């Protein structure tokens, strides 16, 4: 039946969660070639709970079928994330003993538009009828099976709703926290300080070794944890047209200008074919000789090829320009004449009303009220044309109000018919009132563009068979040489460039600047691909990629090369801090300032909520916190801050007046913690034992 068919065509019920999605539909098949080297029937496990390969394969297949354009690897990655999330959350639900009743599951099913909005299950008032729904599931086995499949997803969704409610209810902000928030905003400290800035020591004066970086990462292991990766360097040999290929295409298209003599096998005589100059049927000539079919559109000057726009636009009717290069094509263009007003520019003020297609209305109004207001605005514009811009800002219900109603240039039939007809049938400067399904428009025509119609013969410049053969020979020769000797030396010998290594993870599709090259990443992770292995790949529309597995980074800490740019400055500052602290001798700020070659600075009315030091220093919470902790007149020990080492002396601390009620500050903190639910799943993943066996399968 038609309704059932509609149900089948829809995607399955989504389990929507805050911060992430539990995809309740089942996902698709990347394993089209079976599996190799497989040592397990499970694609992975979460805390000891297996994810069976066959179930995973079916789910991936369903994702591929339900989502047009999704790649097999993207589908597999999506299903993997889904399976891990569901396994972790289901375990939490079980620990908490969460149970859901039939009514709760029914609510979830009803929220699925394929069920809740299905005409089969609606009453005469257009509302979901549970009795109709239950009756249909009893009498129609196919619908019953569909609902049964959805019920498991609905149960999971219902449990998540309960789980989320429990987390939100268990997260609260105390009066004491509100009080602290108030004090951080309102308490102020005045202090003097000496700053020994890290920038006063040259980076070259402090050295950071690989061992230093590794030691730092080990102290922060969770932050620098990394999946197994492969580093792949490569040489790209592009299969592109040679100068000879380009010259051949240019000569060929140039030859189309004049007539040609062709032997006719049917008559046994030579036929003289007209050239582009003398062709009587220009459209037929273009379609017979061009790689791009004839286009009858009139084109504004701004839309013509930039370099040749002036010459193309100013051609006299019948005049030819070319050959000229446009992108990957050599072109000849003949002018077929101009047309005035092919594009128009207009501004408008939209006055909408209840029931129109405009989603964001500034005020609710009836159609009659909207018409009256539109006529009033039109009268104001006619009385003072310069008021249009300001009226658009203040009165228009369209998003273009922010641009003073300006819609820019547009072509015929790009706007709804009444709007289009007014603009293209009236001169520049005309102002009028038009009604469309969006409401009433006060329109001002601000400009028009003329256009030219060109008949263009375009032939693509691409590699000839001979050129492609040479490229193939070069690529295979390099592959042989690279396997026999050093990769870089072999490239240099053939004047080829070795591109920087791409670091890839197991399920990556993207391969650096070359985009989606999943086959190269897959090869790098295959059993038997050892460090130093080299392989050539033919890449469509690009050429040949000769890849070398440069390095394997096992699971654990990130590679030093990947984190050096971030970690090295931190470690250099720590070493600089030790050098600066060693200079900070003295019992007064003045003495310390002299020792480090600087002066005593003053900080006034600084709060912990905004611990900023002026003079371009920026945020220094440790420094300000220490200043608050000191009693008046006391000097601190050296403090390692964000931008340098500081010694501070508290001048005075101004405590804010005591408040009886800190409700407003409690509310601020509650607002800040509104997204805490989003942290649950990452925290569960961080603690979980997750085994990913996808490498064992041919994905």
Cα–Cα distance measured from residue 193 to residue 650, given in angstroms and rounded to the nearest whole number: 9
Pairing mode, strands 556-557 and 260-264: unpaired
With both helix axes pointing from N to C terminus, report the angle between 72-96 and 141-170 in degrees, rounded to the nearest 10.
Answer: 60
Measured CA to CA in angstroms, residue 699 lies from 76, 77, 109, 540, 693 at distances of 8, 10, 34, 20, 11
Measured CA to CA in angstroms, residue 356 lies from 70, 370, 436, 441 at distances of 36, 11, 9, 12
Contact call for residues 458 and 291 (beta carbons, < 8 A): yes
Taking phi over 0 as left and psi of -120 to 50 as alpha, with beta for the rest, 528 belongs to: left
Confidence of residue 227 (pLDDT cuts 50, 70, 90): confident
With pLDDT > 90 as the criterion, what percentage of the chain qualifies?
Answer: 67
Contact call for residues 185 and 595 (beta carbons, < 8 A): no
Cα–Cα distance measured from residue 646 to residue 653, given in angstroms and rounded to the nearest whole number: 19
With both helix axes pointing from N to C terminus, report the angle between 141-170 and 102-111 in degrees, rounded to the nearest 10.
Answer: 100
The better pLDDT of the pair 695, 429 is held by 429
Q: What is the pLDDT of residues 68-79, one digit of tens each?
A: 778 888 899 999
Confidence of residue 693 (pLDDT cuts 50, 70, 90): confident
Using alpha carbons only, what angle is made at residue 416 by residues 414 and 418, rounded to the nearest 5 degrees? 125
Contacts of residue 36, defined as CB under 8 A and 6 or more positions apart, other chains included, come to 526, 527, 697, 698
Which H helix or E strand runs over 333?
strand 329-351
Q: DSSP letter string over 636-680?
A: PPPEE-SSEEEEEEEEEEEPPPP-S--HHHHHHHHHHTTTGGGGH
* Average confidence score pLDDT of the chain: 88
How far the first Cα of the chain sits from its last, in Å, is: 37
Confidence of residue 699 (pLDDT cuts 50, 70, 90): low
Q: What is the pLDDT of residues 116-159, one digit of tens each?
A: 888 888 888 888 888 888 888 888 888 888 888 788 888 898 99
Pairing mode, strands 229-238 and 543-553: antiparallel
Contact call for residues 466 and 358 (beta carbons, < 8 A): no
Give the pLDDT confidence score for residue 360 in this predicted structure.
57
Tokens of 176: 């004491």
Confidence of residue 167 (pLDDT cuts 50, 70, 90): confident
pLDDT above 50: residue 91 = yes
The answer to whether the peptide bond before residue 363 is cis (omega within 30 degrees of 0) is no
Confidence of residue 8 (pLDDT cuts 50, 70, 90): very low
Q: What is the pLDDT of residues 585-596, one digit of tens each?
A: 999 999 999 999
Task: Please compute the mean of the pLDDT values over residues 432-451 and round it to a whole number.
Answer: 95
Contact call for residues 520 and 545 (beta carbons, < 8 A): yes
Cα–Cα distance measured from residue 197 to residue 204, given in angstroms and rounded to the nearest whole number: 16
19 phi/psi in degrees, rounded to 5: 90, -20
Give the pLDDT confidence score for residue 446 in this predicted structure.
96
Tokens of 441: 């428009």
pLDDT above 70: residue 361 = no
Contacts of residue 276, defined as CB under 8 A and 6 or more positions apart, other chains included, come to 256, 257, 285, 289, 320, 332, 334, 457
* Alpha helix ranges (H) inside 202-303: 210-219, 243-254, 282-289
């Amino acid at each position: 039946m038609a309704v059932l068919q509609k149900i089948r065509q829809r995607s399955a019920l989504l389990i929507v969660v805050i911060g992430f999605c539990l995809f309740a539909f089942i996902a698709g098949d990347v394993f089209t070639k079976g599996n190799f080297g497989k040592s397990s029937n499970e694609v992975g496990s979460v805390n000891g709970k297996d994810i069976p390969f066959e179930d995973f394969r079916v789910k991936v297949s369903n994702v591929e079928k339900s989502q047009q354009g999704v790649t097999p690897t993207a589908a597999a990655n999506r299903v993997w994330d889904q399976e891990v999330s569901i396994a972790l959350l289901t375990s939490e639900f079980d620990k908490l003993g969460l149970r859901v009743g039939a009514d709760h599951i029914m609510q979830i099913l009803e929220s699925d538009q394929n069920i809740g909005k299905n005409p089969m299950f609606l009453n005469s008032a257009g509302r979901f009828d549970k009795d109709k729904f239950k009756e249909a599931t009893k009498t129609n086995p196919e619908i019953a099976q569909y609902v049964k499949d959805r019920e498991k997803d609905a149960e999971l969704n219902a449990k998540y709703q309960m789980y989320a409610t429990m987390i939100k209810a268990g997260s609260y902000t105390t009066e004491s926290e509100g009080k602290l928030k108030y004090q951080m905003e309102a308490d102020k400290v005045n202090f003097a300080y000496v700053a020994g800035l890290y920038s006063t020591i040259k980076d070259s004066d402090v050295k950071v070794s690989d061992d230093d970086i590794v030691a730092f990462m080990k102290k922060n292991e969770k932050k620098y944890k990394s999946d197994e990766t492969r580093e792949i360097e490569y040489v790209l040999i592009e299969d592109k047209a040679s100068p000879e290929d380009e010259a051949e295409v240019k000569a060929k298209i140039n030859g189309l200008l004049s007539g040609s003599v062709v032997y006719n096998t049917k008559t046994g005589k030579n036929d003289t074919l007209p050239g582009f100059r003398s062709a009587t049927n220009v459209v037929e000539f273009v379609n017979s000789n061009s790689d791009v079919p004839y286009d009858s559109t009139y084109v504004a000057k701004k839309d013509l090829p930039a370099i040749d726009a002036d010459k193309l636009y100013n051609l006299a009717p019948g005049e030819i320009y070319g050959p000229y290069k446009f992108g990957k094509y050599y072109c000849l263009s003949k002018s077929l004449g101009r047309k005035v007003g092919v594009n128009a520019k207009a501004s408008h003020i939209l006055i909408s009303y209840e029931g129109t297609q405009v989603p964001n209305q500034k005020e609710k109004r009836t159609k009659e009220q909207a018409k009256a207001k539109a006529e009033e605005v039109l009268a104001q514009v006619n009385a003072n044309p310069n008021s249009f811009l300001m009226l658009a800002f203040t009165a228009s219900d369209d998003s273009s109000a922010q641009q003073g109603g300006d819609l820019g240039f547009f072509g015929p039939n790009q706007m709804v018919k009444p709007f289009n007809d007014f603009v293209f049938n009236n001169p520049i400067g005309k102002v009028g009132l038009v009604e469309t399904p969006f409401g009433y428009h006060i329109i001002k025509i601000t400009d028009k563009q003329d256009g030219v119609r060109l008949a263009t013969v375009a032939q693509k410049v691409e590699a000839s068979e001979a050129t492609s053969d040479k490229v193939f020979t070069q690529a295979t020769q390099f592959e042989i040489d690279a396997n026999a000797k050093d990769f870089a030396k072999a490239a240099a010998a053939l004047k080829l460039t070795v591109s920087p290594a791409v670091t890839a993870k197991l399920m990556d599709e993207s391969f650096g600047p070359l985009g989606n090259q999943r086959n190269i990443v897959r090869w790098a992770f295959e059993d038997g691909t050892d460090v130093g292995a080299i392989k050539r790949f033919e890449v469509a529309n690009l050429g040949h990629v000769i890849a070398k597995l440069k390095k394997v980074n096992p699971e654990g800490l990130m590679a030093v090369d990947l984190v050096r740019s971030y970690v090295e400055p931190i470690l250099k500052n720590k070493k600089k801090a030790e050098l600066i602290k060693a200079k900070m001798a003295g019992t007064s700020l003045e003495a310390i300032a002299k020792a480090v070659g600087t002066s005593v600075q003053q900080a006034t009315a600084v709060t912990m909520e905004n611990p900023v030091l002026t003079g371009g220093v920026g945020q220094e919470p440790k420094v300000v916190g220490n200043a608050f902790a000191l009693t008046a007149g006391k000097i601190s020990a050296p403090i390692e801050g964000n931008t340098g080492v500081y010694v501070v002396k508290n001048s005075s601390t101004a405590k804010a007046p005591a408040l009886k009620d800190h409700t407003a500050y409690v509310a601020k903190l509650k607002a800040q913690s509104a997204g805490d639910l989003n942290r649950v799943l990452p925290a569960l993943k961080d603690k979980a034992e997750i085994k990913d066996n996808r490498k064992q399968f041919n994905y």
